[in-house]
Structure 1
Amino acid sequence: MSSLQTKQMEREFTFIQPFKKSRHFSALFFGQFFSLLGSSITNVILPVVVLQLSNSTAKMGMVMALYMLPFILLLPFSGVLVDKMNKIHIMLTVDLVRFLLMAILAILAFYDGLNMMYLFIFMFLLGFMDSFFQPAYSSVRAKVFTQDIRNAANSITQISMQGLKIFGPILGGLLITSVSAAWGFGIDALTYIISLFFLLSLRSITFQTANASVRKDLSIKQDFLEGIVVLKEQSWLWITILAISFINIFTGGIIRILIPWLINVYHQFEPVVYGLVLSASGAGAIVCGIIFGLRKEWSRRGILAYGGVAVSGISLLLTPFASNVPILMVCMFVNGAGMMLFGLIWETSLQELVPEEKFGRVASLDMLGSFALLPLGYLLTGWIAEAAGRNTHSRYFKYYHHFSISSGNV
C-alpha cells in the first residue's frame, strides 16, 4: 500500500474516531442532529409566514429582535446558573418546553389561528429557553470533546450542522410550497422529542466544579465577573468577541431579513429558492469543514479565522448584485465557507483555553458579545429594507405608469 493511500485511510479514520471512542459523543451528536433538523426547517418557513401575515420586513425584524432579547437579558445569569446546575437536566428541560411551544404553533397553523402577536410571544419564549440551552450545550460539548478527538469532533459536528442547512431548507421550502407551514412546525416539534431521548443517555456525565466552600461565598455578580477574568487573560478571546459583536449588527440582519426579502419580494422567486440559497451556504461550510478536519493542527489560526470573516463579508457585499439563482448560490457558498472556518477555529480555541468549571460563564459571555447588538441590527435592517422596498415599488409604478401612457394602454 502506498504512503498516499495510507494517509488517505488515516484521514478517513480520523472522522470515525469520535464515534468509536465516545458513546457520549454519539448521543450528543444524534440528539442535536435531529433537533437542528427541525430548526433548519422552521428557519425557512418562519420568514415566509411572517411576510405572508404582515407583508413587512420591519415585522420580521421585530420577530428576530424579540427572539434575541432574552439572550441579552439572561445570558449574564444563565451562564452562572449553568455552571452551578446539572447541564444535562437543563438541556432535557429546555427540549421538552421547546417541543410544547412548537406543537402549539403547529396546531395554531393547522387551524389558521396564527397572527403576528402569537409569533411575537412564541419567539420571545423560544429565545428565553435557548438562552439557557446554548451555554449548557457548549459546556457539555467542551466536556465530551476530549483532546484526543477534539479536532475531528468539532469538524464532524459543524459539518453535520451545515449539512442540515442543505437538506433542512430544501425540505422546509418544499413543505410550505406543496403542503403548509403547519407541517413544518409539527416536524420541528417531533425532532425535539427525538433529541430528548438521545440526551437521556448523557445523564451519567459528571462535571468539575469549583470548591464548594469557596462557591458558597460568591454572589451571582462575582461568579459572572470570574468569567470576565478568564476572557481578560486571553486577549484573542475578548478582542474577537468585541469585533464579532459589531460585525453581527450587519450580517445577522442581512441573512435573516434582507436575503428572504431579496428572494421572495424583490425577485419574487418561489419559496423553494430561498431554501436552495441557504443550502448553498451549508454546502460551502461542509467543504470547508472537511478540509479543516483532515489536519490535526493548523498554524496561524488567528489570521485564518479573521480571513474567513472577511471573505464572508465580501460575499454578502456582492449578493445584491446577483440577479439570478446560480450567482446567489455562489455568493452564499462562499459566505458559508468563510464563517465555517472562523467557527471551527473559535470553538477549538474556547475548548483549549477555558477551564471546564467556568465554561458556562465564558460561553454565555461569548454569546452575549455576539448577540447583544443583533436586535438592533434586525430592527435597523428591517426598517431600511422596508424603506428601500417602498422606494423600489414606487419607482417601478412610476415607470410602468409612464410606459403605459406612452404606449396608449391607459
Structure 2
Amino acid sequence: MEIETPSPTPATSRFKFFNQFAAPFRQSRPFPYLWLGQLISVLGSSVTMIILPVVVYTITGSTTIMGFIMATYTLPNILMLPVSGWIVDRYNRTNIMLFTDAARFLLMTAMAALLFADGLSIGILFALVAVYGMMDGLFQPAYAATRAVVFTPEIRNSANALTQISNQAVRLIGPSLGGLLVTFLSAGWGITLDALTYVASFGCLYFLRKLIPFHKKEIKQGTDVKGDFMEGLSILKSNPWLWITILAFSFINICYSGLVIVLIPWLFKVHLEMSPYVYGVAVTCSGAGAILAGLTFGARSHWRRRGLLAYGGALLSGLALFLMAFTPSAIGLCLLFALEGFGIMIFGLIWETSLQELVPTEAFGRVSSLDMLGSFALLPIGYILVGWLADLIGGTQTIALFSGLGMLTILFILLIPSIRKFD
C-alpha cells in the first residue's frame, strides 16, 4: 500500500527558505557580531572603491597611474600574506582584526583630511594605499580563519551565503552613495564615511572577542615561519581541487580584476563620458546579481557537481566583461554588471565553503593566506600591464583581450576531471 505524501505548499516552502537563513543568528552567538562588523566596514570600502578611481583620474587622467596605484595596494598585501598566515594561526585572531581596523581608521582619516585641505598629492596617495594594503593583508586571513570557526557545518552554507548577500546588499547602497557624495559634495566626505565605518566595526569585534576566547593550544611550539608555511602548502597539495584552482585563478584574477579595477572605471568616465553616478549605479547592479546568486546558493544546504557550478559561474562573469567592451548604453552595461556579479558570486561561495570543509581549523590562517597569495601574487603586474596595454592598443581592445583569455583558461581547467567532477 502506498501512502501519498502531500506536496509542500508555497507557505511551507517560504518558511523553510527563511528558516534556512535565520539559522546562523539562532544557532550561533558570535555570528551576529562578526556579520555586522564586516557588513559595516564593507559599506565604507564600497564607497571608497568608487571614489578612488575618480580621485586618481582627476589628478592624472592616466590608466597607467591607476594601474600603479592598485599595484601599490596589492604588492604590500601580497608580501604580508606568508607572514600573516603564521601570525593568525599563533595569536588571537580577533585582536589582529581589532588592530587592523584601528590602523585603517587612521589611514582613511588622514586621506580625508588631505582631500578637504586640497593637499592630497599622488605621492602621498601611493604611501597611504601601500600601508592600507599591508593592513588588509593581515586582516583578511584573520577574518577567514574566524569565519571557519564561527561558520559551523550545520550553518555553513547559509552563513556564507547570508554574509555575501548582506555585503552585496550594502554594495547596492555604497557605490550609488559614493557617486552621489563625489558628485554633489566632495571625495573627502566619502573617505570620511569609510573611516567612521572602521570605528563601528571595531566595536562589533570587541564584543566578538569575548565570545571567541583565544586558546593557547592553537599555538604549535618548536616550529618556525618556514615550517608552518610548508605545512600549509602540504595541505593544499593533498587536494587537487584546492591547488589547481589557486593556480588557475592566479592568472584568471589578472584578467578579470585588472579590467574591473583599472579599465571598467575608464570605460565609464573617459571612453563613454558618463557621470560617476552612472558608474556607481552599474556597480550596484553587480551587487544585485551577486545577491541573487547568494539567495540561490544559500537556499539549499548541499549542492551537487560544485566544480562545474563554480567554474561555470566564473565563465559567465568573463562573458559579461567581454560584452562590456562592445556595449555603449548605460542600461546594457548595468545588465552586464548584474550578470558579472551573479557569476563570480557563485564561484566565490562554492570556493569558500569548500575551503571550510577541506582545511583543518588550526591551519586555516596559513592555508587562507596561501590561497590569497596564489590568487593575488601576480595582480600588481596585471594592473600595470592592463593599464599600459590600454594606453598602447586601446581600452576596449584590452577589455576584450583579457576577458577572452580568462574564459579560455576556465575552459581548459574544466578539462581536468578532478575539477569538473568536484562534488
Per the shorter chain, which TM-score range? over 0.9
1 CA distance for matches of 2:188 and 2:108? Answer: 10
Which runs of structure 2 are paired with 1:258-273 in the superposition (5 Å)?
258-273=263-278
Which runs of structure 2 are paired with 1:318-329 in the superposition (5 Å)?
318-329=323-334
Q: Which of these two proteins has the greater Rg computed from alpha carbons?
A: 1
Matched, 1:365 2:370: yes
Q: Who is 1:206 aligned against? A: 213
The C-alpha deviation readout for 1:50-85, integer Å capped at 9, x for no partner, is: 000011111100000000001221211110111011
Matched, 1:385 2:380: no
- The structure 1 residue matched to 2:228, chosen from 200, 217, 223, is 223
- The structure 2 residue matched to 1:356, chosen from 343, 361, 367, is 361
Q: Who is 1:281 aligned against? A: 286
2 CA distance for matches of 1:95 and 1:125? Answer: 13
Q: Who is 2:411 aligned against? A: none
1 CA distance for matches of 2:351 and 2:204? Answer: 27
2 CA distance for matches of 1:30 and 1:2? Answer: 37
Deviation at 1:330, TM superposition (A): 1.2
Matched, 1:144 2:144: no
Q: Who is 1:398 aligned against? A: none
Query: What is the TM-score when the length of structure 2 is the normalising length?
Result: 0.90
Q: Is the 8 A contact 2:267 2:395 kept in 1?
A: no
Q: Is the 8 A contact 2:43 2:170 kept in 1?
A: yes
Using the TM superposition, name which of 377-386 and 123-132 deviates more.
377-386
Q: Who is 2:26 aligned against? A: 20
The C-alpha deviation readout for 1:139-173, integer Å capped at 9, x for no partner, is: 00111111111111000001111112211000000
- The structure 1 residue matched to 2:200, chosen from 191, 194, 198, is 194
The C-alpha deviation readout for 1:306-343, integer Å capped at 9, x for no partner, is: 11111111111111100100111111111110000000
Secondary structure of the structure 2 residue equivalent to 1:148? helix
Structure 1: gaps of 5 or more residues: 393-410
Matched, 1:346 2:351: yes
Query: What is the TM-score when the length of structure 1 is the normalising length?
Result: 0.93
- The residue type paired with residue 77 of structure 2 is F
Matched, 1:245 2:250: yes
- The residue type paired with residue 75 of structure 1 is L
Q: Is the 8 A contact 2:50 2:178 kept in 1?
A: yes
1 CA distance for matches of 2:217 and 2:374? Answer: 25
Structure 2: gaps of 5 or more residues: 1-5, 398-423
Deviation at 1:206, TM superposition (A): 3.5
Which runs of structure 2 are paired with 1:7-406 in the superposition (5 Å)?
7-204=13-210, 205-206=212-213, 215-388=220-393
Q: Is the 8 A contact 1:285 1:333 kept in 2?
A: yes
- The residue type paired with residue 336 of structure 2 is C
- The residue type paired with residue 187 of structure 2 is A
2 CA distance for matches of 1:381 and 1:282? Answer: 24
The C-alpha deviation readout for 1:12-43, integer Å capped at 9, x for no partner, is: 11111111222210000110111010000000
1 CA distance for matches of 2:28 and 2:217? Answer: 25
2 CA distance for matches of 1:211 and 1:186? Answer: 38
Q: CA RMSD in A?
A: 1.6
Deviation at 1:260, TM superposition (A): 0.5
Using the TM superposition, name which of 255-264 and 11-20 deviates more.
11-20
